[in-house]
Chain A
């Protein structure tokens, strides 16, 4: 198809080496899990080695620290991302040597809690020693559980990573999301066999719907065995997109076109099959691809709420978990089919924990010493703040993530992400914070010359899910509801790039803003206090559901 078989040659030449790389990485992961203490000591020694001669460590006197957990924790402070900003500013100019002694090849862009996107240094050492091996180990597990992934060039649809041109730079160095693997840095960078497939490369559209259409167009009629995503919403949208663009897909398949333009040979058989699926009315992805045996995505914590939906869309396909990770680093890597919990990736970072009930932010604000626990000191059934020291030089970083230790097996904590510290909910990885919503509301109100008051924000499960905010204004009304809904939604998208991405792709619906009069929420909060523990109850803008909407504005929204 498309006149070029180059990508299939690439697939064939990479198939066995990729398999071997993934197998080796998985074996190394399992070996680390067999001796987690040695793995953590090795990681710490490696990080001290790559950071000891950095400018920052030398200036702070950290260069004399021993590569042992005790002296490391005694000398280096726990930090937040914002604490690293001055060093990151310097590192953008030098491209390495400030936080660690490794060249910065890219800057990774991710949402910041204060509105400005973060800049995470993507160093050569981190790439080679940690990030790529983690990907390989995870795919090693997938290959172990579902070898059909590499049966043929059309066997796998990988939506985890993308290849997109980059147009944002920091002092000449690319600044992009970690999921964008373009361009490949060297031959040891992430390079699956399908890396040059036409639905995976630069020729695929960058907009979510267009890219998904591209993928589907190439793979309908093929024996698809496995589809991989990060967020479950991507899999749901795959099915929705086929439903929405079904007739167009049938036409393209039958005519040998892609979006109406000539592309490959006509495939009347695939067109007939898809038409028959569409004729069913309600259909599943396994109707489209009866060969589909497995899928993977995040399935723990709030993402787990998608599970029944996924069962409906992918009946008969087996679920496999995605690693627990963020731009800042990898926390767990799946080793089996367990969906709720995975082993701490002891070879990925030096991990420390603080019980979740400790107000870590307050301690750090006060400059107080923070006592941490090591991986072998945590207890099953408890929640912890996660503190990571990564091979890119971001040491003792309070991630802001709360993890629950589900079990300790052979000395390794099995954990899952619970929520962001201070963040109530995240439908599909957007992780909006109170600070972000507050800022968005303030911006929107200011645009209309209004001063802000209290607000409540909660997640509403709908098709698609979205957030509902009830906020105090001087003169509430339906017209203002409409305007503020739009303004707050747009402001939040500008502040949080993940939210923007999910909004653009239709995985999140538009935020709904309902106005109420002054003191309404204060009175409501006060009334709630009387219902529960009066001492501990306090105003919290983020609510776990949207019950407050009915309480405050009623079904028709009359009482204001």
Chain B
């Protein structure tokens, strides 16, 4: 558990290079200098990358939590085609490698939470349903994620057309920093971050659709009995909370845990609830390490 009487601690911030199929991927890590008592592996969304988490990472580490973020292929400082999401197998292989490396670094006894933010939550849900993902994890958190978004907003014919899309023309995601945060400093950062992705190739959207299909397929495999939580603001300007909660509840047999933080912006880590979300996620993670004798 967290030592509550100590002053803030020194933490490390590392960037581990993972070579997958000849492409160098950046696995970012913030960790305590002392014992790691828990770990969080973060799936970033469409636009962001690990460089957005410069305040969050050290806070997790100060809570004795090792915080891992993979710059997805083509994102952040990772190699790969920019503004492009490769095929499902490549994406899954990248995450399998990164999370496998994470588990190897932290050891078998440290509880590991998989945390997907926004589109990252869809990547996470897809990964969980892939048989080649066998790394043990102890909790999942879906944060401000619209699970099954493309299936919800597109009709059957539109989905069929999208699935056949092969164009590399850019598709504007239409993201507005004002939806992410009210804080001018963060808005300015989002608007001027030259590593941020604001468009995707049209064929990438077909991949996103295929990823959704992995967890929306009625014949999907049953997930291990691991605590799952859905976290969001009270409202969200980007996602349909009712729609995504319905998908979330369908994915997890026990319905999972729903947690709301008092904000109406999308990117909780750039709002006043950021610290609370870090602390909640930290304790949620640490508690999975308890031996409850069952």
**Residues on A facing B (Cβ under 8 Å):** 50, 53-55, 58, 90, 93-98, 101-105, 124-125, 128-129, 169, 171-173, 186-188
- B273 interfacial contact with A, CB 8 Å: no
- B188 interfacial contact with A, CB 8 Å: yes
CB of B188 within 8 A of CB of A188, answer no
Closest Cβ–Cβ distance, residue B178 to chain A (whole Å) = 16
CB of A125 within 8 A of CB of B10, answer yes
CB of A173 within 8 A of CB of B11, answer no
Q: Which of A53, A125, A129, A187 contacts B8 (CB 8 A)?
A: A187
- Chain A residues with Cβ below 8 Å from B7 are 186-188
- In addition to A90-B77, A103-B11, 9 A-B residue pairs with Cβ atoms within 8 Å of each other are A54-B15, A93-B51, A93-B77, A94-B50, A94-B77, A102-B11, A124-B11, A172-B185, A172-B189
Pick 27 A–B contacts, CB within 8 A, sort by A.
A55-B15, A55-B17, A58-B17, A90-B77, A93-B51, A93-B194, A94-B28, A95-B13, A95-B51, A96-B13, A97-B15, A97-B28, A101-B14, A103-B13, A103-B58, A124-B11, A169-B185, A169-B188, A171-B189, A171-B192, A171-B193, A172-B52, A172-B54, A172-B186, A173-B54, A186-B8, A188-B8
Which of chain B's residues has its CB closest to A100's CB? B13
Which of chain B's residues has its CB closest to A55's CB? B15
List of 3 A-B pairs having minimum Cβ-Cβ separation, nearest first? A172-B189, A95-B54, A96-B13
Closest Cβ–Cβ distance, residue A463 to chain B (whole Å) = 42
- B195 interfacial contact with A, CB 8 Å: yes
- Chain A residues with Cβ below 8 Å from B57 are 103
Q: Which of A54, A129, A169, A171 contacts B10 (CB 8 A)?
A: A129
**Residues on B facing A (Cβ under 8 Å):** 7-8, 10-15, 17, 28, 30, 50-52, 54, 57-58, 77, 185-186, 188-189, 192-195
- How many inter-chain residue pairs (CB < 8 Å) link A and B? 70
- Chain B residues with Cβ below 8 Å from A58 are 17
Closest Cβ–Cβ distance, residue A422 to chain B (whole Å) = 34
- Chain A residues with Cβ below 8 Å from B193 are 93, 171-172
- Chain A residues with Cβ below 8 Å from B30 are 103
CB of A128 within 8 A of CB of B54, answer no
- Chain A residues with Cβ below 8 Å from B50 are 94
- Chain B residues with Cβ below 8 Å from A98 are 15
Which of chain B's residues has its CB closest to A123's CB? B13
Taken together as a complex, chains A and B put the C-alpha atoms of A103 and B52 apart, in Å, by 13
- Chain B residues with Cβ below 8 Å from A129 are 10
- Chain B residues with Cβ below 8 Å from A169 are 185, 188-189
Closest Cβ–Cβ distance, residue A168 to chain B (whole Å) = 11
CB of A97 within 8 A of CB of B13, answer yes
CB of B17 within 8 A of CB of A103, answer no
Which of chain A's residues has its CB closest to B71's CB? A94
A53, A54, A101, A187: most-surrounded residue (chain B CB, <10 A): A101
Which of chain A's residues has its CB closest to B53's CB? A95
- Chain B residues with Cβ below 8 Å from A96 are 13, 54
Closest Cβ–Cβ distance, residue B84 to chain A (whole Å) = 20
Which of chain B's residues has its CB closest to A172's CB? B189
Which of chain B's residues has its CB closest to A185's CB? B8
Which of chain B's residues has its CB closest to A125's CB? B10
Closest Cβ–Cβ distance, residue B105 to chain A (whole Å) = 12
Which of chain A's residues has its CB closest to B189's CB? A172
- Chain A residues with Cβ below 8 Å from B8 are 186-188
Which of chain B's residues has its CB closest to A128's CB? B10
CB of B188 within 8 A of CB of A94, answer no
Closest Cβ–Cβ distance, residue A418 to chain B (whole Å) = 35
Taken together as a complex, chains A and B put the C-alpha atoms of A169 and B194 apart, in Å, by 14
Which of chain A's residues has its CB closest to B31's CB? A101
- Chain B residues with Cβ below 8 Å from A97 are 13-15, 28
Taken together as a complex, chains A and B put the C-alpha atoms of A490 and B242 apart, in Å, by 59
CB of A101 within 8 A of CB of B77, answer no
Taken together as a complex, chains A and B put the C-alpha atoms of A412 and B213 apart, in Å, by 70
- Chain B residues with Cβ below 8 Å from A173 are 54
- Chain A residues with Cβ below 8 Å from B77 are 90, 93-94
CB of A124 within 8 A of CB of B58, answer yes
Closest Cβ–Cβ distance, residue A200 to chain B (whole Å) = 22
- Chain A residues with Cβ below 8 Å from B10 are 102, 124-125, 128-129
Which of chain A's residues has its CB closest to B13's CB? A96
- Chain A residues with Cβ below 8 Å from B12 are 50, 101-102
Taken together as a complex, chains A and B put the C-alpha atoms of A124 and B7 apart, in Å, by 14
Taken together as a complex, chains A and B put the C-alpha atoms of A95 and B57 apart, in Å, by 10
Which of chain A's residues has its CB closest to B57's CB? A103
- Chain A residues with Cβ below 8 Å from B186 are 172
Closest Cβ–Cβ distance, residue B29 to chain A (whole Å) = 8
Taken together as a complex, chains A and B put the C-alpha atoms of A171 and B48 apart, in Å, by 13
Which of chain A's residues has its CB closest to B8's CB? A186
Taken together as a complex, chains A and B put the C-alpha atoms of A540 and B11 apart, in Å, by 49
- Chain B residues with Cβ below 8 Å from A171 are 51, 189, 192-193
- Chain A residues with Cβ below 8 Å from B13 are 95-97, 101-103
Which of chain B's residues has its CB closest to A59's CB? B17
Taken together as a complex, chains A and B put the C-alpha atoms of A94 and B14 apart, in Å, by 10
- Chain A residues with Cβ below 8 Å from B58 are 103, 105, 124
CB of A93 within 8 A of CB of B195, answer yes
Which of chain B's residues has its CB closest to A104's CB? B54
- Chain B residues with Cβ below 8 Å from A172 are 52, 54, 185-186, 188-189, 193
- Chain B residues with Cβ below 8 Å from A90 are 77
B11, B15, B17: most-surrounded residue (chain A CB, <10 A): B15
B7, B10, B192: most-surrounded residue (chain A CB, <10 A): B10
- Chain B residues with Cβ below 8 Å from A93 are 51, 77, 193-195
Closest Cβ–Cβ distance, residue A91 to chain B (whole Å) = 10
Closest Cβ–Cβ distance, residue A524 to chain B (whole Å) = 50
Closest Cβ–Cβ distance, residue B275 to chain A (whole Å) = 12
- Chain B residues with Cβ below 8 Å from A128 are 10
Taken together as a complex, chains A and B put the C-alpha atoms of A161 and B195 apart, in Å, by 35
- Chain B residues with Cβ below 8 Å from A125 are 10
Closest Cβ–Cβ distance, residue B254 to chain A (whole Å) = 37
